[in-house]
Amino acid sequence: MRALMAALATAALLAGCSSNDIDPAACGWVSGYQDPPANERLYRAVVTHLNGKPVLSRPNYQLAPGEYEFTFVELINAADLRVSPQAHQAKTLKVTVAAGNRYHFAARYKDDRRYLGKDPDFWEPVIWQTEAAECRFETP
């Protein structure tokens, strides 16, 4: 009897999650237009690829809800950074976009130790701020 009740409850939940409930105009933003807080060792970054495809970097990416892989290059101008040009390598970050949210990206300078030579580990791409933001795709 418990198994039957559990099966019925599961079926009811799944019926409530039909594809008809998905709003095709819903979207979210991934943005890099704000200057991140330098006192947190955060710097600007630019997007070079989205899901492995080259893109022109822009301040906002309007996207349907889902998971995306962004490739970034950093724009760190810290006076104490002493790495060679070969160390400045692109890095990826997966961002799960939810409808009605904006995700601000940046490059975090990892100053936990001295990075020298060709060591590319001196930075990482991060989402430093998430906020609610209206977003709707225009429908014809």
Whether 4 is in a domain gets the answer no
* pLDDT for residue 139: 67
Confidence label for 140 from pLDDT (cuts 50, 70 and 90)? low
Write down the pTM of the prediction.
0.80
Q: Max alpha carbon distance in the chain (Å)?
A: 70
Whether 65 is in a domain gets the answer yes
Query: Structure tokens of 113?
Result: 């130790």
Which residues form the domain of 30?
24-132
Whether 96 is in a domain gets the answer yes
Whether 52 is in a domain gets the answer yes
Residues in the chain: 140
CB contact at 8 A, 56 and 18: no
pLDDT tens profile 99-115: 999 999 999 999 887 77
Whether 59 is in a domain gets the answer yes
Whether 9 is in a domain gets the answer no
Distance CA 46, CA 129 (A): 16
pLDDT tens profile 4-37: 344 434 444 444 444 446 677 899 999 999 999 9
Whether 1 is in a domain gets the answer no
User: For the chain, what is the domain count?
Assistant: 1
Backbone angles phi, psi at 139, to 5 degrees: -105, 140
Q: Which residues contact 17 (CB under 8 A, 6 or more apart)?
A: none
Whether 139 is in a domain gets the answer no
Backbone angles phi, psi at 123, to 5 degrees: -145, 165
pLDDT tens profile 53-74: 999 999 999 999 999 999 999 9
Distance CA 127, CA 132 (A): 14
Instruction: Encode 29-60 in three state secondary structure.
Output: EEECCCCCCHHHCEECEEEEEECCEECCCCCE
